[in-house]
Amino acid sequence: MPFQVSVDDPTRPQPELRVLDRKFFQLVGEFVYVHGDTVVTVPGCAPMPCLLRTDLASIPAPLQGLLTPYGRQLLPAIMHDDLCKRASAQGPAGNTLRRHADELFRLALLDEGVGPFRSRIFWVGVEVGRFWTFTDVARFLLIAHQVLGMLCWVVGVPWALATAHFGLAALLLVLPVVLSLLWRRDFPVALLGCLLLPVIAPTYLLTIATAAVLWVPDGAAWLFGRRRTRRPPPLGPPTTVLR
C-alpha cells in the first residue's frame, strides 16, 4: 500500500487534521508514502512540534466543481505540501526538489485511484505553481505561451478553416506544439496548459459570473440590515473557508 502509517506498519493512515484558521490545517499524526525505493515521511504534530501547514489540494474556488481539495487526493496533497515546504526552504536550489515533489504527487494520485487525465490536470497546476515560486520571468512567459496556444486552437484554427485559409489553419494547429518544444524538459507543462485552458478558463469565468449573480440577493440582504455575521456572505461558491 503506497500510503501507510509507518515504514514498518502497512496500515492505511487515517489523517487527523487540526484547524488553524479559515483555510489552513495541521497534520496531527505522521504517515509515510512508499513508491518503489522512494519513501517519504510526512511529519505530524506529535510528539514533535507541528511543522506542516496545509490547505489540502490548492484548488481555486471556481474550479472546485471539477477538482476538490479533498477526497482521493487528500493524502497526496498533504504530502505534496510538505515536500513543497522543504523545497522552498532551499531557496532557488529547491527547484529540483520541487520538480520531484510534483512528479511524486502525480504518482501518488494514480496510486490513490485518481484517473490518469485528472492526475495530469493536478500535475499541470502544481507545475505552474513551481514556475510561479522559483522563476521570475519564465512564469509569465509560460502563462503567455499557454494563452497563445489556446487562442491558436480555439480562435485561430476555426477562423482559418471558416475562411478557407487551410495552410494557415495547419500552421496554427502545429504552432503551439513547436513552441512547446522550446521549453525542453518542461514541454509537457507548456503543451498540456494549452490543451487545458480552453476547458478550465470558461469554467472559471462562468463560475465567477454565476457566483456574482447568486451573491446579489444575499449581499443586498446583508447590506440592508439582515446581518447574522460581521462579514458579508462570501462571493463565489462553494463556501470553502471557515468563518
Query: What cell does 238 get?
Result: 462553494
Please check whether residue 232 lies inside any domain of the structure. Answer: no
Same domain? 113 vs 160:
no
Same domain? 37 vs 150:
no
Same domain? 147 vs 178:
yes
Same domain? 51 vs 129:
yes
Please check whether residue 49 lies inside any domain of the structure. Answer: yes
Q: How many whole angstroms separate alpha carbon 44 and alpha carbon 16?
A: 9
Please check whether residue 162 lies inside any domain of the structure. Answer: yes
Question: Which whole-number Å values give the CA distances from 166 to 2, 14, 152, 172, 195, in the listed order?
Answer: 50, 57, 14, 10, 21
**HEC readout, 173-220:** HHHHHHHHHCCHHHHHHHHHHHHHHHHHHHHHHHHHHHHHHHHHHHHH
Same domain? 57 vs 121:
yes
Same domain? 182 vs 202:
yes
Q: Which pLDDT score, from 0 to 100, does residue 29 have?
A: 80
Beta carbons of 229 and 239 less than 8 angstroms apart? no
Beta carbons of 60 and 44 less than 8 angstroms apart? no
Same domain? 164 vs 178:
yes
The whole domain housing 26 covers 3-134
Q: How many structural domains compose the chain? A: 2
Query: What cell does 241 get?
Result: 473557508
Same domain? 17 vs 62:
yes
Please check whether residue 239 lies inside any domain of the structure. Answer: no
| Digitized pLDDT (tens) for each residue of the chain, 243 residues in all | 688 888 888 888 888 777 777 777 778 888 889 888 888 888 877 655 666 777 777 766 666 666 677 778 888 988 898 898 889 888 888 899 999 999 999 999 999 888 898 899 889 989 999 999 999 899 999 999 999 999 999 999 999 999 999 999 999 999 999 999 999 999 999 999 999 888 888 877 887 787 778 777 777 776 776 656 666 666 655 555 544
Q: How many CA atoms lie less than 13 Å away from 13 in the CB half-sphere?
A: 29
pTM over 0.85: no
Same domain? 127 vs 7:
yes
Same domain? 165 vs 119:
no
Please check whether residue 22 lies inside any domain of the structure. Answer: yes
Rg (C-alpha) for the chain, rounded Å, is: 21
Q: Which pLDDT score, from 0 to 100, does residue 4 have?
A: 84
Same domain? 194 vs 85:
no
Query: What cell does 131 get?
Result: 514556475
Which region holds residue 225: left if phi is over 0, alpha if psi is between -120 and 50, else beta?
left
Same domain? 125 vs 144:
no
Beta carbons of 104 and 38 less than 8 angstroms apart? yes
Please check whether residue 241 lies inside any domain of the structure. Answer: no
Please check whether residue 66 lies inside any domain of the structure. Answer: yes
Please check whether residue 242 lies inside any domain of the structure. Answer: no
